[in-house]
Chains A and B, each alone.
Chain A
Amino acid sequence: MASVELEHLQKRYGDTLVVASLDLQVRDGELLVLVGPSGCGKSTTLRMVAGLEEISAGTLKIGGRVANDLSPRDRDIAMVFQSYALYPHMSVYENMAFGLRIRKLDPADIDRRVRDAARFLELEPLLERRPKALSGGQRQRVAMGRAVVREPAVFLFDEPLSNLDAKLRVQMRIEVARLHERLRATILYVTHDQVEAMTLADRIAVMHKGVLQQVASPDVIYRQPANTFVATFIGSPAMNLWPVTLEADATVAPGAAGGPTFRADGGCVQLTLKGNLGAAAAQLGPGPATLGVRPQDLEPCAENEAELRLRVAVVEPLGAETYVYGNAAEKPFAAASSRDEATVERVASPSIVRLDPQTRPRLGDVIPLRLRAGAGHLFAADGLRVDASGAP
């Protein structure tokens, strides 16, 4: 086992910067998921760790040892490819044994390792088959088995589940978790799927356009996203973001702390900021900002309490819950104070709300909504989340 440290790791192809000065540490025995949209540089990062891609700048340490110039085979890593990359002309057994034979292990040891892995991955009846005669899930397990038998210090996974159908993906996700549980190995796992990231990771590293956005536990990533990108990328459906203007609310008496109470005015979304949001607004001061609210943090309310009114465009009943997509209604708010109607008639960005499964709004309905107590995030103009409770 070993840790992996990326210090200012950089990759450029000619003039294109694909990975910008990445600082990341995978701790010993940790499963760290590197997540981000397609093309953001995840694979490139992983391949630099594997030694399949040259490092343009920065330092890579594996187990405390600088590995920049080590050949892939001397890095003590194993990688599971998205395409599985099984050798088509070899049986399952040979596929798993190949790397061990190359390293000239004792045949008895090879046999023991292959059979152990096959038992754990339930591949025993398939050992003599060729990859062509396996299902997608079985191939995936062989690919994992091939890595496991090597007993490497570090496992690298590059989107290992994205070629599987939804049901199998869930199954294999559990398989990966089980593997990590059993081996307690250091794993760097790349995916574009935030559900995979949330369910598997000890810690998540979110990447966007070659730049690392945030590294934290799934819980922190979800509850305290560092910026608007992380906020919308993690969580499904995505968090609603509304551009708002913060202004001191003269109609309300100064809060206990003495500062003014702030209102957020986004045209179609208007509310008085309380609790944490109020504190964040106070920290940020008057001016433009972005208000972020997850779909489940909006609740239907009486017309005169509405902070947002959603005109229903799409209804997605999922059984356990119903998602409603729509645009904020054009009409001014009943609760809106003295504002001129014309300024309020702006349409906010498309918004999503989660409702009880019993609620079945019809298309065109207007639903009055308000924020749940304690919900919502404020982001500064540069997209960074304002954390009133201390440092982000």
Chain B
Amino acid sequence: MNDAQPTAQPTAKRRGRYAIVPHLLLVPFTFVTLYPVLYVVKLALSGTSGATASAAPWPTRFDLSAFSTVVGRTDANGTWLFGAQLWNSLVISLLTTVLGIVLAASAAYGFARFEFPGRRVGLLGFLATQMFPGILTLIPLYVLIEALGLLDTTAGLVLVYATSAVPFCTWTLKGYFDTLPKDLEESAILDGASRLTIFLRIILPLSAPAIAVTALFSFMSAWNEFVLAHTFLSSEASFTLPVQIRNYVGDKEVQWALFAAASLIVSLPVMALFYALERHLVGGLTAGGVKG
């Protein structure tokens, strides 16, 4: 948080003094933002024996038993539940991402490059789906998934997640494709490349930053999703991790430490992904502003 200005030029110094005011304002905001996170860390480290009631956000104990309980959970048959659920979450999120990107990228390319009847309606339709709360589609989706016989399956959830990620991803990718110079494609056309070749060998490689952003978005929304998963999945072994987390909050008893420990475990992959993709993300989010 400290404002370490390496250069001591007069102008930089002046700017540094002015920066004090925004920083003073930012400190309380930062505290408000971090408080719940810190509190979850505190809860997770308080051990299975129960939480202290103090409101202080810093850990008072360093007990990892909550983590070992969460990770070590098995069911009556001896199936390693945590392992199975982690696997479910990973598979569902990855498949969602791949399927979502494949569908969105090809749709976005079509929207970006071709004139066809229904182009405008299609784009606006995609936009419109984003205006309604997702919960609205819960019942129709349930009916559909049940009719397809995909309740309580990985495939069912992947299908639902991927299709709901497509509109956002399509818009993002179309926006990026629009910024790629048309000359490149025309040059490739004269080089003799087919549309598919151009898409695969010119457009996609050049769109890596935008694809990273949309992939991360798809992965995260699938990884964190709870309501649909909770509705469509019924057996514990097919749960995703968020559903399991919710289960620590029981009707009679709330296992706060387990809830907190599991939450932290679930957060780790997303944090790691953000860290790994950081450079691409910045590139992708500012894409179009500057063309390399």
The interface of chain A, by Cβ under 8 A from chain B, is: 50-52, 72-73, 77-79, 81, 83, 85, 87-89, 98-99, 102-103, 132, 146, 150
Known contacts A85-B181, A89-B205; is A73 also within 8 Å of B187 by CB? no
B206 touches A52 (CB 8 A): no
> Considering the complex of A and B, which 9 residue pairs feature the smallest CB-CB distances, nearest first?
A99-B191, A85-B183, A85-B187, A73-B192, A102-B192, A89-B205, A83-B183, A81-B183, A102-B193
B187 touches A81 (CB 8 A): yes
B192-211 near A? 1/0 per residue, CB < 8 Å: 11000100001001100000
Nearest-Cβ distance from residue B217 to partner chain A, whole angstroms = 23
| A102 to B186 Cα, complex, angstroms | 14
A72 touches B189 (CB 8 A): yes
A85 touches B192 (CB 8 A): no
Cβ-based interface call for B78 (8 A): no
Nearest-Cβ distance from residue A153 to partner chain B, whole angstroms = 13
Cβ-based interface call for B188 (8 A): yes
Give the residue among B190, B193, B197 with the most A Cβ atoms within 10 A. B190
B189 touches A52 (CB 8 A): yes
Chain A residues closer than 8 Å to B186, beta-carbon distance? 50, 52, 79, 81, 85
Nearest-Cβ distance from residue A140 to partner chain B, whole angstroms = 14
A77 touches B206 (CB 8 A): no
B190 touches A77 (CB 8 A): yes
Residue in B closest to A143 when the chains form the complex, CB atoms: B187
Cβ-based interface call for B292 (8 A): yes
| A102 to B202 Cα, complex, angstroms | 13
Known contacts A89-B206, A132-B292; is A83 also within 8 Å of B189 by CB? no
Give the residue among B184, B186, B192 with the most A Cβ atoms within 10 A. B192
| A78 to B206 Cα, complex, angstroms | 23
Chain A residues closer than 8 Å to B181, beta-carbon distance? 83, 85
In-complex Cβ contact of A85 among B184, B193, B205, B206 (8 A): B184
Chain B residues closer than 8 Å to A77, beta-carbon distance? 190
Interchain Cβ contacts under 8 Å between A and B, 30 examples: A50-B186, A50-B190, A51-B190, A72-B190, A73-B191, A73-B192, A73-B193, A77-B190, A79-B190, A81-B187, A83-B181, A83-B183, A85-B181, A85-B184, A85-B186, A87-B187, A87-B188, A87-B202, A88-B292, A89-B205, A89-B206, A98-B191, A99-B193, A102-B191, A102-B192, A102-B197, A132-B292, A146-B187, A146-B191, A150-B191
| A85 to B205 Cα, complex, angstroms | 15
Nearest-Cβ distance from residue B172 to partner chain A, whole angstroms = 20
| A50 to B181 Cα, complex, angstroms | 18
Chain B residues closer than 8 Å to A103, beta-carbon distance? 192
Nearest-Cβ distance from residue B39 to partner chain A, whole angstroms = 46
Chain A residues closer than 8 Å to B205, beta-carbon distance? 89
Nearest-Cβ distance from residue B168 to partner chain A, whole angstroms = 25
Nearest-Cβ distance from residue B114 to partner chain A, whole angstroms = 15
| A150 to B292 Cα, complex, angstroms | 27
Nearest-Cβ distance from residue A324 to partner chain B, whole angstroms = 43
Nearest-Cβ distance from residue A54 to partner chain B, whole angstroms = 13
Residue in B closest to A103 when the chains form the complex, CB atoms: B192
Nearest-Cβ distance from residue B252 to partner chain A, whole angstroms = 59
Chain A residues closer than 8 Å to B190, beta-carbon distance? 50-52, 72-73, 77-79, 99
Nearest-Cβ distance from residue A162 to partner chain B, whole angstroms = 14
B249-292 near A? 1/0 per residue, CB < 8 Å: 00000000000000000000000000000000000000000001
| A73 to B193 Cα, complex, angstroms | 8
| A83 to B188 Cα, complex, angstroms | 14
A99 touches B206 (CB 8 A): no
Residue in A closest to B204 when the chains form the complex, CB atoms: A89
| A78 to B192 Cα, complex, angstroms | 10
Chain B residues closer than 8 Å to A85, beta-carbon distance? 181, 183-184, 186-187
Using A81-B183, A88-B292, A102-B191 as known contacts, list a sample of 10 further A-B pairs with CB atoms less than 8 Å apart, ordered by residue number in A: A72-B189, A72-B190, A79-B186, A81-B186, A81-B187, A85-B184, A88-B206, A98-B193, A99-B193, A102-B197
Residue in A closest to B197 when the chains form the complex, CB atoms: A102
| A81 to B190 Cα, complex, angstroms | 11
| A99 to B187 Cα, complex, angstroms | 9
Chain A residues closer than 8 Å to B292, beta-carbon distance? 88, 132
B83-109 near A? 1/0 per residue, CB < 8 Å: 000000000000000000000000000
B197 touches A73 (CB 8 A): no
Residue in B closest to A104 when the chains form the complex, CB atoms: B192
In-complex Cβ contact of B188 among A78, A98, A132 (8 A): A98
Residue in A closest to B206 when the chains form the complex, CB atoms: A89
Chain A residues closer than 8 Å to B189, beta-carbon distance? 52, 72-73
Nearest-Cβ distance from residue B157 to partner chain A, whole angstroms = 35
Residue in A closest to B191 when the chains form the complex, CB atoms: A99
Nearest-Cβ distance from residue B205 to partner chain A, whole angstroms = 5
Chain B residues closer than 8 Å to A102, beta-carbon distance? 191-193, 197
Residue in A closest to B184 when the chains form the complex, CB atoms: A85
| A102 to B189 Cα, complex, angstroms | 10
Residue in B closest to A79 when the chains form the complex, CB atoms: B190
Nearest-Cβ distance from residue A172 to partner chain B, whole angstroms = 18
Chain B residues closer than 8 Å to A72, beta-carbon distance? 189-190
| A88 to B206 Cα, complex, angstroms | 8
A99 touches B184 (CB 8 A): no
Chain B residues closer than 8 Å to A81, beta-carbon distance? 183, 186-187
